[in-house]
A and B are shown apart, each in its own frame.
Chain A
Amino acid sequence: MSLKVQNLRKTFGTKVAVENISFEMTEPGVFGLIGTNGAGKTTTIRMILGIIGADSGSSSWNGKPITREMNFGYMPEERGIYMKTTVLEQLVYFGMLRGMIRHEARSSAIALMERLGVAEYRNVITEKLSKGNQQKIQLISTLIHNPELIFLDEPFSGLDPVNIEMLRKLIYDLVDEGKFIVMSSHQMATVEEYCKNIVILHKGRTILQGNLRQIKSGYGHTNLLVKTEKDISSIAEEAGLRLIEKRADESEYRIDGDEMAGSFLTKLIDAGIYPVKYEIKEPSLSEIFIEKVGAEV
């Protein structure tokens, strides 16, 4: 199974919303579409699904153009559920629209509601649920027909920590079940956690893409996270380290490479300071993103 997107382009009037985006997903997992608001993530997903027509380019699932009849699920960024309808009733409706028969849709909806801890609300009018629970209902409507290919547009936005953890676990479960997930997000830490492959979009243009591990390896070891009981700022300055971020009990520095980190450690030990934590790291996705987007700006 594979998802292939080739040179999709979309303009709205004179504004180019997405400029020739291409990527491929050949194995189950999570693919990340990253970008700031207005970067073109949602437009890309909508073009892939055929919700809006692309000016040029194509997308295919298993070599065939994507149609409504294919087994995919889509959770839009702006949640769309019937507020005045009971939870189970609308889930059954969405399931039936995806080709399920009533009792199949009902069983699947109840199973997913139990899995996400909202089974008790099945006969409740949706508007009476909390936002987090409404989002779970939206997610169930996306997964009710057990799709192979799932599109999640900003799935974590607006969720509280408890629901983020719930969704996190669900995404891992879905990956374990062999699902292909395309997830858009502007939350870099989230994408970094899940995605093997990414595309970074900025103002509709692809500014970086590929395997996240390889991208980060390409940058080498550029960060040093140090936690000590004494103040080490003067030693770090002397060693030529540049402070990236100072937190309550640890500091992160920019380094030129492993050698620099090694000599800094020697200096600390010579000064009688033994670090509690000493981690040489690749740059975070957030740093890479800011660097790339900053270069574009």
Chain B
Amino acid sequence: MRQIMTVFAFTFREGIRKKVFIVSTIIMMALLLILTAVPALIQKSETDEPESGAQEPSVTSKVCYYVDENGLIDNAIETLSSKITDTRFEKGDYSKIHEYKETIKTDGNTSLIVVSKDQTGSPFITVTNMDFMSGISSGYAVDVLSDLYIYNTLESRGIDKDTIEFAQSRLSYAEEFAGEMDFSGYLLGIVITMLVFFAVYFYGYGVSMSVATEKTSRVMETLIVSAKPSRILIGKCLGMGALGLFQFIFMIAFGTVCYKFFIPDGFTVFGMELTLSAFTFKSALFTFIYFLLGYMLYSMLNAVSGAFVSKIEDLNSAMMPVMLIELLSFYMGYFSMMSSGSNVLQKITMYVPFSSPFIMPFILLNKDLSDLDLAVSILILVISIVIVTVLSIKVYTASVMRYGKRVRLKDLYKET
């Protein structure tokens, strides 16, 4: 135990002084600061906006040429100008269509609407933009022109104005949600899942790198005559885990302070209030537990990856299998979050030990989870950690002093 604590303390001290730790902490703090400051800035800009009546007419740089050689839609330019205010509509010349198109190829602020006749004699509208991200909204422009064409046609047939307007009117509606979805819980769930994934990946990578560095720099040979490989491995994983936890808790504390200081009271996103109300003691506790367990599971696997390499440049390829498991598990968890209807996928990801650390914080924040489900999920995860740890220690012990030729699983099996 004493040797484990010695390795633990050394790993923690070394890790906290590393540039990568200091730089990543500063970057995360800056991100948190920016993320929490944005709502305050948005609110400030909204309150600073002048009264709508005092608004200056907007100066637009967008131009749309309207070509209707046959005059199929009357008053089109006036109507389009009144409906699409950020674009200046100009009457175009049919003979210059090719020239307009050449301009549009390189100018995203220029568009072209050509109205021609289809086989039935009705207007056929062609909208040309540089790409789907530029120019005017073709769908909206076509809606405006369709409404105008129908209006003109009905009016020419003697239908009175009120009747036409009534015929073209749309019913008002409102969308309501009967469920109890808490937007802040949903958002927090995604954020925490991402954080757990990155923390597990980042600190697992740290374990792997640390093991590989000790092996390739031959420090391992000095260590291994003093302490059992299993003690080195456990001490190292605990040290890196504590380092991750320290940074994680520090970030949560810093984020809470930023939230208190910067997020304005009653701030809403898409009309929904941004609060931490979804975070109960239970969800916070189990999120913490899942982070720890997830980290332990993956750090053991990563340590084995590090022990496999003889050259540090081989580390990434040695880590690939663990990374694939981690990525696959993360995306399984993520998709099960997104596909709220698929209970089967969610059940699977809840119980699979590789994915449960990613999905469970989200479920805890957003669903009513039975204690039995929670207990079974944690039990499976703990049993898996024990099995993986035992196997990892065996493989680590057998591979950590093997240099030269790539270590084959068959050889390791013989030695263990």
Q: Are A98 and B401 in contact (CB under 8 A)?
A: no
Given contacts A68-B227, A80-B221, 17 further A-B contacts (CB under 8 A): A46-B401, A51-B401, A68-B226, A68-B228, A74-B225, A76-B221, A78-B218, A79-B218, A81-B217, A82-B14, A82-B219, A93-B6, A94-B226, A97-B223, A97-B227, A98-B226, A141-B222
Chain A residue nearest to B228 in the complex (CB): A68
- Whether B75 sits at the interface, judged by CB under 8 Å, is no
Which residues 79-138 in A have Cβ within 8 Å of B in the complex? Answer: 79-85, 89, 93-94, 96-99, 138
In the assembly, what is the distance between CA of A76 and CA of B10, in Å?
22
Q: State the total of A-B contacts with C-beta under 8 angstroms.
A: 55
Selected from A51, A72, A93, the residue in CB contact (under 8 A) with B224 is A51
Name 28 A/B residue pairs within 8 A (Cβ), A-sorted: A46-B401, A51-B221, A51-B225, A51-B401, A53-B415, A68-B227, A68-B228, A74-B221, A74-B225, A80-B214, A80-B219, A80-B221, A81-B217, A81-B219, A82-B14, A82-B217, A82-B219, A83-B217, A84-B18, A89-B13, A93-B6, A94-B222, A94-B226, A97-B6, A97-B226, A97-B227, A138-B222, A141-B222
Q: Are B218 and A80 in contact (CB under 8 A)?
A: yes
Which residues of chain B come closer than 8 Å to A83, judged between CB atoms? 217
- Tell me whether A97 and B217 are in contact in the complex, defined as CB-CB below 8 angstroms, given that A49-B225, A80-B222 are known contacts: no
- Whether B220 sits at the interface, judged by CB under 8 Å, is yes
Secondary structure at chain A's binding surface: helix, strand, loop or mixed? Answer: loop
CB-defined interface of B200-227 with A at 8 Å, one 1/0 digit per residue? 0000000000000010011111111111
Q: Are B222 and A74 in contact (CB under 8 A)?
A: yes
* Chain A nearest CB, measured from B211 CB (Å): 13
Which residues of chain B come closer than 8 Å to A80, judged between CB atoms? 214, 217-222
Binding site for B on A (CB under 8 A): 46, 49, 51-53, 68, 72, 74, 76, 78-85, 89, 93-94, 96-99, 138, 141
In the assembly, what is the distance between CA of A19 and CA of B64, in Å?
89
- Tell me whether A52 and B401 are in contact in the complex, defined as CB-CB below 8 angstroms, given that A80-B221, A81-B222, A96-B6 are known contacts: yes
Q: Are B3 and A85 in contact (CB under 8 A)?
A: no
Which residues of chain A come closer than 8 Å to B222, judged between CB atoms? 74, 76, 80-81, 94, 138, 141
CB-defined interface of B1-31 with A at 8 Å, one 1/0 digit per residue? 0110011001001100010000000000000
In the assembly, what is the distance between CA of A78 and CA of B219, in Å?
9
Binding site for A on B (CB under 8 A): 2-3, 6-7, 10, 13-14, 18, 214, 217-228, 401, 415
Chain B residue nearest to A145 in the complex (CB): B226
In the assembly, what is the distance between CA of A80 and CA of B401, in Å?
13
Which residues of chain B come closer than 8 Å to A138, judged between CB atoms? 222
Q: Are A78 and B6 in contact (CB under 8 A)?
A: no
* Chain B nearest CB, measured from A123 CB (Å): 13
In the assembly, what is the distance between CA of A49 and CA of B214, in Å?
19
* Chain B nearest CB, measured from A19 CB (Å): 20
Secondary structure at chain B's binding surface: helix, strand, loop or mixed? Answer: helix
* Chain B nearest CB, measured from A92 CB (Å): 9
* Chain A nearest CB, measured from B217 CB (Å): 6
Q: Are B218 and A76 in contact (CB under 8 A)?
A: yes
In the assembly, what is the distance between CA of A74 and CA of B225, in Å?
8
Which residues of chain B come closer than 8 Å to A53, judged between CB atoms? 415
Which residues of chain A come closer than 8 Å to B214, judged between CB atoms? 80
Which residues of chain A come closer than 8 Å to B2, judged between CB atoms? 99
For B7, B18, B218, which residue has the most chain A Cβ atoms within 10 angstroms?
B218
Chain A residue nearest to B216 in the complex (CB): A80
In the assembly, what is the distance between CA of A83 and CA of B218, in Å?
11
* Chain B nearest CB, measured from A187 CB (Å): 21
Chain B residue nearest to A83 in the complex (CB): B217
In the assembly, what is the distance between CA of A94 and CA of B218, in Å?
14
Q: Are B221 and A78 in contact (CB under 8 A)?
A: yes
Q: Are A85 and B401 in contact (CB under 8 A)?
A: no
In the assembly, what is the distance between CA of A52 and CA of B214, in Å?
17
In the assembly, what is the distance between CA of A51 and CA of B224, in Å?
7
Which residues of chain A come closer than 8 Å to B228, judged between CB atoms? 68
* Chain B nearest CB, measured from A73 CB (Å): 9
For B3, B226, B415, which residue has the most chain A Cβ atoms within 10 angstroms?
B226
Selected from B10, B221, B225, B401, the residue in CB contact (under 8 A) with A93 is B10
In the assembly, what is the distance between CA of A76 and CA of B214, in Å?
14
* Chain A nearest CB, measured from B307 CB (Å): 14
Which residues of chain A come closer than 8 Å to B225, judged between CB atoms? 49, 51, 68, 72, 74
Which residues of chain B come closer than 8 Å to A52, judged between CB atoms? 401
Q: Are B217 and A85 in contact (CB under 8 A)?
A: no
* Chain A nearest CB, measured from B269 CB (Å): 44
In the assembly, what is the distance between CA of A52 and CA of B18, in Å?
32
Which residues of chain A come closer than 8 Å to B14, judged between CB atoms? 82, 84-85
* Chain B nearest CB, measured from A120 CB (Å): 22
Which residues of chain A come closer than 8 Å to B18, judged between CB atoms? 84
Please provide the 6 A-B residue pairs with the shortest distance between their CB atoms, ordered closest to farther.
Answer: A80-B218, A97-B226, A80-B219, A76-B221, A78-B218, A96-B6
In the assembly, what is the distance between CA of A93 and CA of B227, in Å?
12
Which residues of chain A come closer than 8 Å to B217, judged between CB atoms? 80-83
